[in-house]
Amino acid sequence: MVNERRRGEELEVAILEAAYDIIHESGYENMTFQNVAKQAETSRTVIYRRYETQVDLLHAVVHYKSTQALGGDMIDLIQNKGSLRLDLLSVVEIYQQFFETISSEVLSATLLVLSQKNDSVKEWSVSARNSNMQVMKRIEGFAKERGEIHHEFTTMQMSLPFDFLRVENIMRGGAVTREYQIQLVDEVLLPIFSGQAQ
């Protein structure tokens, strides 16, 4: 029986939790609007009003779960830690927390989706990239205010923290330890962002 009483955020959460559970239980290919509607006790029409495609729904699931775990959007969590090194370590820690929150099943589905070439995926990629750039521009601003740097980060440089962690978590599937995070910052990121890389 379709539940007609739930509205707004309550219904939205039910849909996203249903989609997340289906990915875990039977895989992304079974996260159809019909299956999600059945598990969320709503109708396909309700879901179609919110999401145009299955990719849009997956994107919403990823954003919902990451926000739930982190307590907000990543940009809102970036604070001045007092040094470029500590700021970079904070970025790495927060982004890694995102990966640990998003399960391996959802990560696999995301990787599959990102390999496709369609408008929904392009929008998702652009949105994620813009968000990452905003984070790194904030880090740049902190470092300039403290007089640690006098240059601007390049687009390629600003992609590095996220690219490294994405490869480790999705491509290699390895455990990103605290030791790895510190090594990434001290040996790779800090020399590059401070302008001291050889």
Lowest mean pLDDT segment, chosen from 47-51, 99-103, 113-117, 151-155: 113-117
Q: How far is it, in rounded angstroms, from Cα 54 to Cα 19? A: 10
Q: What is the pTM of this model?
A: 0.81
Three-state SS for 198? coil
Task: Please determine, for residue 71, whether its predicted confidence score (pLDDT) is greater than 60.
Answer: yes
* Intervals of CATH 1.10.10.60 along the chain: 1-50
More confident residue, 182 or 109: 182
Distance between CA 142 and CA 163 in Å, rounded? 22
pLDDT at 17 over 90: yes
Q: pLDDT for 27-56, tens place per residue? A: 999 999 999 999 999 999 999 999 988 989
Mean pLDDT for all residues in the chain = 88
Rounded to whole angstroms, what are the CA distances from 16 to 11, 19, 122?
9, 5, 22
- Domain 1-50 carries which CATH code? 1.10.10.60
Residues of the chain within CATH 1.10.357 domain(s) are: 71-193
CA distance 169 to 133: 20
Domain 71-193 is of which CATH architecture? Answer: Orthogonal Bundle (1.10)
Q: For 62-66, what is the mean pLDDT? A: 88
